[in-house]
């Protein structure tokens, strides 16, 4: 089995990580966190969401935050956009990369964005067309890809059908989300196989694993074995969706970086830098680090602790 030599780590800490926190952070603290993530070598950092501030008050400062983001520094800063209104706001604030998001189950889609799945795709059509016109990079999420908190089992074929429809609408990358962390490696293999069989290429596919039941890293290994080269993670292991009861943190970036380093897979991110950013955000949130490597420290052949 040939694992990829290099992968992309797509950081979601400032967005997924903070959207479910009881504590609201200031824009300055978020900007400092994002700057530390970039300093650690992360080159794709999802920074906020242009959604209703009533739905996600934690990210109500999206307009100000995005306006204050650095430009042209080689880092991609995608933002979530649920509809045309969100697109207008994102564009006005200077976003150059966007992510639309729907789900494989009707119940979650309704709870999360107040639309049916078909309505969400109809809402994304003009958004993705506008993004293409503006030369923006685009991603589309299919959430609840491995299970729905309201309706349970999800058919993998349904997930892949949506993925192909989103590609047809112009999304450049499809990210399959295990929103409530129920998936296991055998299901990841099945999903990748179905995706490739439906015509997706490996460089169009990303996985987003929540670690609710401790299967996220195992699922990453399954994805690597399939040849997938983009994985989402959140520095500090924060994350969750307020509209997905039971959703816990994302796979922690430091746990992912540790694994990839030890497996000799390149990614360009410094573990020490990520740990420093993780400590910063944990302090800001006033709680201990959720990640394994954050608690244990990195392993150095010299015996030194990081």
For this structure, is 241 an active site residue? yes
Is position 273 an interface residue for ligand HMG (rule: CB under 6 A)? no
**Which C-beta is closer to ligand HMG: that of 13 or that of 273?**
13
Is position 182 an interface residue for ligand HMG (rule: CB under 6 A)? no
To ligand HMG, the closest distance from the beta carbon of 10 in angstroms equals 11
To ligand HMG, the closest distance from the beta carbon of 47 in angstroms equals 13
Identify which range of 109-117, 125-133, 163-171, 294-302 contacts ligand HMG by CB under 6 A: 109-117
State the SS3 of the chain: CCCCCECEEEECHHHHHHHCCCCCCCHHHHHHHHHHHHHCCCCEECCEECCCCCCCHHHCCHHHHHHCCCCCCCCECCEECCCHHHHHHHHHCCCCEEEEEEECCHHHHHHHHCCCHHHHHHHHHHHHHHHHHCCCEEEEEEECCCCECCCECCCHHHHHHHHHHHHHCCCCEEEEEECCCCCCHHHHHHHHHHHHHCCCCHHHEEEEEECCCCCHHHHHHHHHHHCCCEEEEECCCCCCCCCCCCCCCECEHHHHHHHHHHHCCECCCCHHHHHHHHHHHHHHHCCCCCCHHHHHCCCCCCCCCC
Q: Which residues inside 116-175 make contact with ligand HMG, applying CB under 6 A?
A: 141, 143
From the list ligand HMG, Mg ion, none, pick the one residue 185 interacts with, judged by a Cβ distance below 5 to 8 Å according to partner type: none
Residue from the set 16, 91, 173, 255 that interacts with Mg ion by CB under 5 A? 16
Active-site positions? 241
**Sites of contact with ligand HMG (CB under 6 A):** 16, 19, 49-52, 55-56, 80, 82-83, 85-86, 89, 101, 112-114, 141, 143, 177, 179, 208, 210, 241, 243
């Amino acid at each position: 089995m040939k694992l990829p030599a290099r992968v992309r780590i797509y950081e979601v800490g400032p967005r997924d990580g903070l959207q479910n926190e009881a504590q609201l952070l200031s824009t300055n603290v978020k900007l400092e966190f994002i700057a530390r993530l970039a300093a650690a070598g992360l080159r794709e950092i999802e920074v906020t969401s242009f959604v209703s501030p009533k739905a996600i008050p934690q990210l109500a400062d999206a307009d100000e935050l995005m306006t204050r983001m650095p430009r042209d520094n080689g880092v991609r800063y995608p933002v979530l956009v649920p509809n045309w209104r969100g697109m207008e706001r994102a564009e006005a604030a200077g976003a150059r990369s966007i992510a639309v998001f729907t789900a494989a189950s009707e119940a979650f889609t309704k709870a999360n964005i107040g639309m049916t799945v078909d309505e969400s795709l109809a809402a994304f059509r003009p958004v993705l067309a506008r993004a293409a016109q503006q030369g923006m990079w685009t991603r589309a999420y299919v959430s609840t890809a491995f299970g729905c908190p309201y309706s349970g089992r999800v058919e993998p074929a349904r997930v892949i059908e949506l993925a192909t429809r989103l590609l047809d609408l112009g999304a450049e990358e499809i990210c399959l989300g295990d929103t409530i962390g129920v998936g296991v490696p055998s299901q990841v293999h099945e999903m990748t196989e179905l995706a490739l069989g439906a015509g997706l290429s490996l460089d169009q596919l990303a996985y987003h694993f929540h670690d609710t039941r401790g299967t996220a890293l195992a699922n990453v290994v399954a994805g690597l074995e399939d040849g997938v080269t983009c994985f989402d993670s959140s520095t500090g292991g924060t994350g969750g969706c307020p509209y997905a009861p039971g959703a816990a943190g994302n796979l922690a970036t430091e746990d992912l970086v540790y694994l990839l380093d030890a497996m000799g897979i390149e990614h360009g991110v410094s573990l020490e830098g990520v740990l420093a950013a993780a400590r910063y955000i944990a302090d800001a949130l006033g709680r201990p680090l959720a990640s394994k490597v954050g608690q244990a420290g990195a392993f150095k052949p010299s015996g030194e602790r990081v």
